[in-house]
Amino acid sequence: MTDSLILVENPAPGVGLVRFNRPQALNALNAELLRQAFEALEAFDAGDAIGCLVLTGSDKAFAAGADIAQMAGQNAVEMLNDDFTDWSRLSRLQKPVIAAVSGWALGGGCELAMMCDLIVASETAKFGQPEIGIGIMPGAGGTQRLTRAVGKALAMEVMLADRKLTAAEAAQFGLVNRVYPLDSYLAEAVALAARIAGQPRISARLTKDAINKAEELALSEGLAYEKRSFYLTFATEDKAEGMAAFLEKRPPLWKGR
């Protein structure tokens, strides 16, 4: 029964939620689970009904990393060739994505969370990149995204000495947006997603894109990129509606166009 490796929900208007559902293996990420999750996220991303996505796991584990049992039998060429390696599908989604993280977010699990645009964590969340302990290293962005998020010194400790970051530390170092008690983190993530989903969609999409460009481009290039996107918002119906609503002192009625 392969279709139960994820669960898909609409927990609030405009919010699409994908949950890893392999609790017996702490949501270890095998190729089939990843395929199902990416397809569900891409379907939400393509549809008009959804304005913000939430990716989550269980209270005990967001995901304890890539499936070591599956990787144990794979050689370098197989890793290179099969679609197990295309984890970047998550970072290519156009709509904002929130990772709601509780328990373990290790290895590829931490990397998936970092590919999301915001991270909401429970107080029990633990982030780490322990790949060195099984004779490999991070391969889905850990050395790059964690270093950008928390700085070189701490990233070295996390990846070379397997230091796990608590939720409080992750918040302190800028890796996560918010930390909530275990019984409310998911509801808070969904509430944040609903708030984002209620924004004008094209502005949200272009803003996400421009912020992510800040990690890749030189400042002058990023500023030029932002300026072009800014001008593009002036071509939208929502720009006309947003400004008219402000001037008429009424709430805007967004169309997503």
Active site residue 108: yes
Each residue 140-169 as x (binds ligand CO8 by CB under 6 A) or -, in order, gives x-----------------------------
Say whether residue 34 binds ligand CO8 (CB under 6 A). Answer: no
The Cα 140–Cα 131 span in angstroms is 11
- Residues 112-131 as x/- pattern, contact with ligand CO8 by CB under 6 A: ------------------xx
Token pair for residue 132?
A: 């060195």
Assess 57 for contact with ligand CO8 (CB under 6 A): no
Among residues 62, 67, 127, 193, the one that binds ligand CO8 under rule CB under 6 A: 67
Measured CA distances, 95 to 15, 185, 196, 229 (Å): 11, 21, 10, 15
CA distance 192 to 15: 10
Query: What is the distance between the alpha carbons of residues 182 and 122, in angstroms, rounded to a whole number?
Result: 5
Q: Which of helix, strand or coil describes residue 19?
A: strand
Confirm or reject binding of residue 107 to ligand CO8 (CB under 6 A). yes
Per DSSP bridges, beta strands 6-12 and 15-20 are: antiparallel
Count Cβ atoms below 10 Å from residue 3 Cβ, excluding itself.
8
* Residue from the set 5, 90, 106, 179 that interacts with ligand CO8 by CB under 6 A: 106
Residue nearest ligand CO8 by beta-carbon distance: 107
Q: Does 134 engage in binding with ligand CO8 (CB under 6 A)?
A: yes
Active site residue 42: no
Told to judge if 39 belongs to the known catalytic residues of this protein, a careful annotator would answer no
Candidates 16, 37, 103, 111; catalytic one = 111
Find the catalytic residue in 131, 170, 197, 242: 131
Catalytic residue among 40, 61, 66, 197: 66
> Cβ closer to ligand CO8: 130 or 200?
130
Does the CA dihedral 36-39-41-47 come out positive or negative? negative
Helices (H), the chain: 31-46, 68-72, 76-81, 108-115, 147-150, 152-160, 167-172, 185-197, 201-213, 219-233, 237-247
Number of residues that bind ligand CO8 (CB under 6 A): 20
* Residue 64 touching ligand CO8 (CB under 6 A): yes
Residues near ligand CO8, by CB under 6 A: 25-26, 28, 64-69, 85, 87, 104, 106-108, 130-131, 134, 139-140
